[in-house]
Structure 1
Amino acid sequence: MSSRNEYEIEIMPSQELQHNPNYEIIEESGVKNYLQRIRPAWHAKQLVQRTMRILPVDPSSACQRIFNASIHDLREKVIMAGTDIAQQAARSYNLPAISSDEDVLERYDTGKLITLAYRMGMLTRPEYRRITRVYDIRKDLEHEDDEYEAGVEDVVYIFKTCVDVILANDPISIIKLTEIKSIVESPDPVTLDHAVIEDFGQAPEPRQTEIYQFLISTALNSSHPDIVRQNCYNALGTLRAYTNRNTILTASRHFVDNRLERRTPLLAEMRVANVSGILPYLRSAHVNSFYEQFLQRLKDTGYHWENHIVHGELLRDLKEIGGLVNCKDELIKGKIMTWLIKCYIGEPGGYGPYGRGRRVFYSNSGAPLSLELLVEDPTINKEEIEKVRTKSQVIRQKIADQYIMARFQEIITAVESR
């Protein structure tokens, strides 16, 4: 590093400053263009002007200045993101404890700060690696004095990384749990607007997890008004596609360990588990036990068309837990498929005052939903439908009627053309 300190450089008249031999190459690299992309807040601190003054004479000092500024900016952004998130990230990843803003602003080691920002979700993995490399170069510049000076490639890399990753970007406005609460606790039906969805999608994992678990818990809490529970249910369905996978996994573990333990899930719990995306991560024993109980509901209700008045609600319940997709017990799934096929194909008609022009009697509410449930499961194909026919004597007997056989063929056509 140059023997002149930065203060001497800044106060010396420009004609007395001797340019670094590599400055022409540095200037041609377009480094000054990076400085112009720094946020206005830092322009007001005259960072750009001072750095441009130092750069021609002492590139190493200029690199340290731009890096120090980016780290100071990162510290402030961590505080703005939320000390609570910083504290949780520090605990989760064995980083130094944080008890106040001053810990972050004044006492946190630079390397640990970069890691903290990454663990909070403020830096992506590639950005974290880039800033870490810059930190390594900066340590070389600071501690090796005249033995190591910033080369052209160092200057370009440091300036581009510090500006692109930190100094050019506005602080992240992380959505708070209180904001979500104020929305879903409305006495009227609500939907999340685009800004809320976008803020949630950009929120670090700890905040997403906090919000997601609140929505799940509230959606299942009978002490809350029905409208609030429904708002939470709808919010989960909206946010699911923007939720970090680790948040889904954490929510599923919490759901099993703190809610279900060893019992069979209730229908309401399965509905929420499905809409939130945690159902595939529940234990197979829990899920299969629920489907076994639901199969008994189907049997108790019966597939006969005369029970059409209850088929709609029954099968909509099945659709709201994801249909047959989440049932992993082949025996149970096969029996439910058999029920659905029987419900759809119906039985011979052509009799009675209302049936003379109707060749097949079937449930007007149950048949369409049965077909939808069969088609919506991508694992159900022609071979699976034929397998059910082979095993079910009732179905084989029914399709001896040509009109019922035609309805059976409709199922095969529907699953093949999905």
Structure 2
Amino acid sequence: MGENTPVSISRVELIKSSEVPELLKKIRPAWQAKNLISRVYRLINIDPSSACQRLFNAAIHDLREKIIVAGVDIASEAANRYKLPPINKNEDLEEYPTSKLIELAYRIGLLTRPEWRRLSRCYEIRRDLEHEDDEYEATIEDCVYIFRTCIEVVLSKDPIQLIRVTDVKQIIEAPDPVTPDQVLLTDFQCAPKTRQVEILKFLMSHALNEKQSDIVRQNAFTFLSCFGPLTHNSVKLELATYFQEKLGRKKLDLLYGRVAYAMGVFPYLKKAQRADLFAQIFVQMQRVGWKWKGYSQHGALLRDFKEIGGLNYCPEIQRKKILKWLVQTYLGEPGGRTSWGNIREVFYSDTAAPLVREIIKDARSLIRDELRSLSKDKDISGQCGYPPIARRFEDLLDLVELEDED
């Protein structure tokens, strides 16, 4: 039987007592029934090295099928962008080099970067196993590594149907308000960068297009707001450039500002354009006034302000002016008897007060010192000369002194 027989037997016993048998149970049912996996089960009790090679082959075959499911269009685009062998049809993937196939799966978002590195390492080990000789002999660690990686990274996972622009288009053009469900959010988060760019550009164009119906534009805006936090940072940078080019030298108005903030690109826009937008908003605030009688207009005004990030991305000059207006609005005026016969210590806008608290709380680390310094402002100190109003100012100070935790 040869001098290597004891080693092989020892390796078989080690594999049997390792985590490998349990790992094999994690292979999804669609693959459990295939001959390739059946051969792995047979070989594992005879020749673990060959079993590793067969399992790796199964993982690569599965990965190739998943790329086809994801779409040849996205695979072709990724291959072209990252200088991989060209892909024009499904058949091109059949002869695709293994190492390039693994990289392609990473580039289109089927593998994370750590998974790409792990699977590439498995490919290196498999090549060593194919040419096993006196200079190299697969260890139990090699075998377990291949089993764990191929199963956890590929064979246990269902194919991903990459989200497409047409999928999103069909949903947002419904005649009713819609929001993305958790499945769609996950699909977007897992989508490759190029697909995220396509989808966000489409939504942006619909949200800004005055020819679209109000419901479609609102649905597009809702989707932008939901997708924004799930967008890759590199995608945001690319979209910021695209958005800035589309805006050109025009003034940044509230509509464009809301869309930019929803997309996550607002901070990347030119500071001068952002400053001009906040200056416009401050003019509106002054026109409405901070006194409680403006309550009917405070709600819409402050909600619009929140939809461009509130104080967080407001340049300093405009931020200080707006902060003072917010504080004055929150503080209110000395109270008295209402038209209903009730007594109120302070007359303030019930509409504005909770929104002001939210805006200040969201930016507390940024405006903490500025809020403190307002205690010395002539107008604010004048309002605070009335003790109940002074207590309201203390409430705001307490709000910004809290630790940044949510």
TM-score range, shorter chain: 0.7 to 0.9
Structure 1 residue 200 corresponds to structure 2 residue 185: no
Q: Deviations over 1:163-199 (max 9, x none)?
A: 2222232212322222221111101112222332233
Q: Does 1:265 align with 2:265?
A: no
Structure 1 position 173 matched with structure 2 position 161: yes
The CA distance in 1 between the partners of 2:334 and 2:257, in whole Å, is 36
Contact 1:381 1:412 in 2 (8 A): no
Letter in 2 for 1:73: D
Distance verdict in 2 for CA 1:147–1:187, change over 3 Å: same
Asked if the contact 2:180–2:226 (Cα under 8 Å) also holds between the matched residues in 1, the reply is yes
The percentage of aligned residue pairs carrying the same residue is 46
1:217 matches 2:205: yes
Q: Deviations over 1:180-234 (max 9, x none)?
A: 2111110111222233223333333332332233222212221111001111222
What is the match of residue 31 of structure 2?
42
1:323 aligns with 2:310: yes
Q: Does 1:77 align with 2:66?
A: yes
CA apart distance, 1:95? 2.0
RMSD: 3.3
Cα distance change of structure 1 residues 414 and 144 upon mapping to structure 2, 3 Å threshold:
closer
* Distance verdict in 2 for CA 1:405–1:169, change over 3 Å: closer
Aligned residue pairs, count: 399
Pick which of 90-99 and 408-417 moved more: 408-417
Distance 2:333 2:14 in 1: 86
CA contact (8 A) 1:349 1:355 kept: no
Query: Aligned equivalents of 1:376 and 1:167: distance in 2?
Result: 44
CA distance in 2, matches of 1:18, 1:324: 72
1:135 is matched with which residue?
A: 123
Q: 1:64 aligns with which of 30, 53, 60?
A: 53
Q: In the alignment, which of 254, 262, 286 is matched to residue 273 of structure 2?
A: 286
Unaligned runs of 5+ in 2: none
Mapped to 1, the partners of 2:360 and 2:330 lie a distance apart of 10
Pairs within 5 Å for 1:252-401: 252-257=240-245, 259-327=246-314, 329-348=315-334, 361-363=347-349, 365-379=351-365, 383-390=369-376, 392-401=377-386
Q: For residue 85 of structure 1, report the CA deviation from its aligned partner.
A: 1.9
Cα distance change, pair 100–342 in 1 and its aligned pair in 2 (3 A): same
Q: How does the TM-score come out when normalised to structure 2?
A: 0.85
Per-residue CA deviations over 1:3-41 (Å, capped at 9, x if unaligned) read xxxxxxxxxxxxxx9994443333333544444443333
8 A Cα contact 1:349 1:356, kept in partner: no
**Paired AA for residue 27 in structure 1:** K
Q: Could you say what secondary structure the match of 2:180 adopts?
A: coil
- Tell me how far apart the structure 1 counterparts of residues 19 and 397 of structure 2 sit (CA, whole Å): 65
Which deviations, in whole Å up to 9, do the C-alpha atoms of 1:94-149 show, x marking residues without a partner?
2222222122222x211111111112221122221111111112222334666544
Q: 2:88 aligns with which of 99, 105, 109?
A: 99
* Residues 299 and 134 of structure 1, relative CA distance in 2, 3 Å threshold: same
In the TM superposition, what is the alpha-carbon distance from 1:337 to its structure 2 partner?
1.3
Mapped pair 1:412 → 2:397 = yes
Secondary structure of 1:190's counterpart equals coil
Residue number in structure 2 paired with 1:10: none
Q: Within 5 A, what are the aligned runs for 1:239-258?
A: 239-257=227-245
Letter of the 1:411 partner, please give it.
L
Give yes or no for contact 2:12–2:47 (8 Å, CA) kept in 1. Answer: no
Give the direction of change, closer, same or farther, for the CA distance of 1:146–1:171 in structure 2 (3 Å limit). farther
- For residues 13-32 of structure 1, the aligned pairs below 5 Å read 20-21=8-9, 22-29=11-18, 31-32=20-21
Distance 2:200 2:60 in 1: 31
> Where does the alignment leave 5 or more consecutive residues of structure 1 unmatched?
3-16
User: In 2, Cα distance between the equivalents of 1:160 and 1:356?
Assistant: 72
Cα deviation code 1:343-390 (max 9, x no counterpart): 333445669989995665544544554444334422366643341242
In 1, distance between residues paired with 2:312 and 2:140?
58
Q: Counterpart in 2 of 1:12?
A: none
Corresponding residue for 1:7?
none
SS in 2 for 1:379: helix
| CA displacement, residues 288-313 of structure 1 (integer Å, 9 cap, x when unaligned) | 23212222332344334454443332
Equivalent-residue separation in structure 2 for 1:125 and 1:58 (angstroms): 31
**Distance of aligned partners of 1:84 and 1:351 in 2 relative to their CA distance in 1, 3 Å threshold:** same
Tell me, yes or no, if the aligned pair for 2:360 and 2:400 is still in contact at 8 Å. yes
Q: Which amino acid aligns with 2:64?
A: R
* Residues 310 and 142 (structure 1), Cα distance of their counterparts in 2 relative to 1, 3 Å cut: same
Change in Cα spacing, 1:406 to 1:380, as seen in structure 2 (3 Å) is farther
Q: Which amino acid aligns with 1:373?
A: I
CA contact (8 A) 1:19 1:56 kept: no
Q: From the superposition, tell whether residues 189 and 330 of structure 1 become closer, same or farther in structure 2 (CA, over 3 Å).
A: same
Look at both structures and tell me which one has the larger radius of gyration over its CA atoms: 1
Cα gap change, 1:363 to 1:68, in 2 (>3 Å): closer
Q: CA deviation at 1:267?
A: 0.3
Q: 1:387 to 1:135 in 2, by over 3 A?
A: same
Give the distance between the partners of 1:93 and 1:360, measured in 2 at CA: 64
